A = this chain, B = another copy of it.
């Protein structure tokens, strides 16, 4: 199979999005965004043996998870996913069947969100590199920036944290916890970006959103810095699955604060909107939990974490130091 045959094999028979004027097969794709919508776009790159391993994932999961990570960025901007492009560096030892697996994984998730594959590049190299560019639409003035948090907001998080890190841990260590094994493994291999929930928030004038790709410690600090406020989080309020409580405290803590790759959303909203936001979460089958609040910054924007009535400063990497 040469490059042209491969492109033929992955070229869609039809496109789902009506805003697409030209897909695969010309110098560029051509998109006409719907009136009243902005176009949002991001790129994310995964490298074999750096970001994933075939020891813990099938090619199908590699594709699925890479696109999920990208869609999560679109969700965190409050937008509706529409398109993706795929740049793939292919080493000799990957078979056509494996490559097909990557595209199957991406396509399965793309179908859920009516996304179209509209272009890309396939080249050869020493190591598999999968780089995806995604495109979405968001109504004017409804982009959810990290800088949109204000003082006296509620800080919330969707889903449960640490699941993906625990799933990877189980796979890497060959451990099996029985009937619940599959849940955690799937959370690692096939995360669910919070698109529906984020879209439904479009009725609100202001919401701040960030997706949890590197760990809540990092993401909370990004919001604090961008919005120039302080965040106060309660450790015991961070939602986790009960299975994680069986782990040693330090492992638990690492998975929850810095595990990342759960692709849940952390956000802030004013208190008046909180009941309605909870209702939207309910309507979209999204678990949602208030984990803290925001306050005027004391000079340097910080994230404070309380546990057992002691308050520490939480830095980006998940490291804390106690306040005197």
Interface assignment of A38: CB less than 8 Å from any CB of chain B: yes
Chain B proximity of A29: nearest CB distance (Å)? 5
Given A41-B31, A143-B30, the answer on whether A126 and B123 have CB atoms closer than 8 Å is no
Q: Are B89 and A121 in contact (CB under 8 A)?
A: no
Considering the chains assembled together, what is the distance between the CA atoms of A131 and B121 in angstroms? 9
Q: Are B121 and A27 in contact (CB under 8 A)?
A: no
Copies of the chain in the assembly: 2
Q: Are B87 and A47 in contact (CB under 8 A)?
A: no
Comparing A69-77, A239-247, A272-280, A284-292, the segment that makes contact with chain B is A69-77
Chain B proximity of A129: nearest CB distance (Å)? 5
Q: Are B47 and A40 in contact (CB under 8 A)?
A: no
Q: Are A31 and B27 in contact (CB under 8 A)?
A: no
Instruction: Give A86's nearest chain B residue, CB to CB.
Output: B43
Given A123-B50, A145-B26, the answer on whether A38 and B31 have CB atoms closer than 8 Å is yes
Considering the chains assembled together, what is the distance between the CA atoms of A272 and B87 in angstroms? 41
Considering the chains assembled together, what is the distance between the CA atoms of A252 and B211 in angstroms? 54
- Chain B residues with CB under 8 A of A131: 43, 45, 87, 121, 129, 131
Considering the chains assembled together, what is the distance between the CA atoms of A40 and B26 in angstroms? 11
Q: Are A50 and B211 in contact (CB under 8 A)?
A: no
Considering the chains assembled together, what is the distance between the CA atoms of A44 and B122 in angstroms? 9
Interface assignment of A101: CB less than 8 Å from any CB of chain B: no
Q: Are A211 and B42 in contact (CB under 8 A)?
A: no
Chain B proximity of A219: nearest CB distance (Å)? 10
Given A50-B123, A87-B87, the answer on whether A77 and B28 have CB atoms closer than 8 Å is yes
Q: Are A47 and B123 in contact (CB under 8 A)?
A: yes
Given A29-B40, A31-B39, A31-B40, the answer on whether A123 and B85 have CB atoms closer than 8 Å is no
Considering the chains assembled together, what is the distance between the CA atoms of A5 and B126 in angstroms? 27
Considering the chains assembled together, what is the distance between the CA atoms of A66 and B230 in angstroms? 42
Q: Are B120 and A27 in contact (CB under 8 A)?
A: no
Among A40, A44, A123, A133, max chain B CB count under 10 A is at A133
Cβ proximity bits A109-137 to B, threshold 8 Å, 1 near / 0 not: 00000000011110111110101011110
Which residues of A line the B interface, CB within 8 A? 21-22, 25-33, 38-47, 50-51, 73-74, 76-77, 79, 85, 87, 89, 118-121, 123-127, 129, 131, 133-136, 138, 140, 143, 145-147, 209-211, 226
Q: List 10 A-B contacts (CB under 8 A).
A: A22-B143, A27-B77, A31-B40, A32-B38, A32-B39, A39-B39, A41-B41, A41-B133, A43-B121, A127-B127
